[in-house]
Amino acid sequence: MATETATIRAACVQMRSGLDRGRNLDDALGLIGEAARDGADFIATPEMTNAVDRKAKRLLADLPPEEGLEEVAAFAEAARAHRVWLLIGSVAAAAAPDRTGRPRAANRSLLFSPQGAIVARYDKLHMFDVDLPGGESWKESSVYAPGDTAALVETPLAKFGLTICYDVRFPTLYRRLAQAGAQVFCVPAAFTRQTGEAHWKTLLTARAIENGAFVIAPAQGGRHEDGRETYGHSMIIGPWGEVLAEAPGDEPGVIAADIDLKAADTARVRIPNLGLERSYEISISKQ
């Protein structure tokens, strides 16, 4: 691997993806270009960049596998044209049916090099199966096939740990990525407004502080065509918990910050918890 640069300029693309994959692609390419013109070395888009649709039948009706997605080729060309590392936070792509033959999709991050090559893939590990106050209910496992492998990517810029949205509620994943060397966590998301208002910033800050890592979290924001409402507030957070950049609301746009990777090393020296974790058993007493 090439020597990591000391400082990189990272950008988050905030979107409001809808049902039309072609329109979503155009929106994403426009914002990626804006971030590149601002000098970004690393650009990340949100979860479900290519399609946000809570109706499984409609989403899956004309959805090809990754190799058939026209947007993948377009994103490869964008990375090559702008000479940037480009993380498409995730795309929906047709996956193998489940054991009953029911069609499913992958929720997949794709990392492109400045040469336009896909250098890493990550399928979301944790499915958002929840019942929230007010009757809001989600069951991602009925539509998406969960991944089974975490992803750490060593690049000339930094060592990136790839995660997606609901993964942020599973701190062991981030601890293992950090112990494997990750300096930067990517958390592309489509957080619901209800959970975003309550927990988005707190969860992202906790993952940064407890692991001495940067967090890059591009988000979907606003009311989408399928009726859902997402929180927005894309964020870039430093390893000491400092907010380096934050979108002011849920409108589409770009935020960026300069990341000094030495700050992660400094934070881990100050609080050396990654190397001090001990194995233990739990003693349960019934009174």
Residues identified as active-site:
47, 124, 165
Strand ranges inside the chain, DSSP E: 7-14, 42-44, 85-95, 104-112, 118-123, 129-131, 137-139, 151-154, 159-162, 184-186, 214-217, 221-223, 229-231, 235-237, 243-246, 253-260
**115-130 per-residue burial string, b: 16 or more CB within 10 A, e: under 16:** ebeeebbbbbbbbbee
Cβ contact 244:238 at 8 Å: yes
Tokens linked to 87: 């993380």
Q: What is the DSSP letter of 38?
A: T
Strands 151-154 and 137-139: unpaired
**273-286 per-residue burial string, b: 16 or more CB within 10 A, e: under 16:** eeeeeeeeeeeeee
Cβ contact 72:66 at 8 Å: yes
Phi, psi of 25, deg, nearest 5: -60, -45
Give the residue from 261, 228, 255, 252 showing the smallest Cα distance to 243: 255
Q: Sign (positive/negative) of CA torsion 195, 197, 160, 49?
A: positive
Which residues make beta-bridge pairs with 94? 105
Cβ contact 63:93 at 8 Å: yes
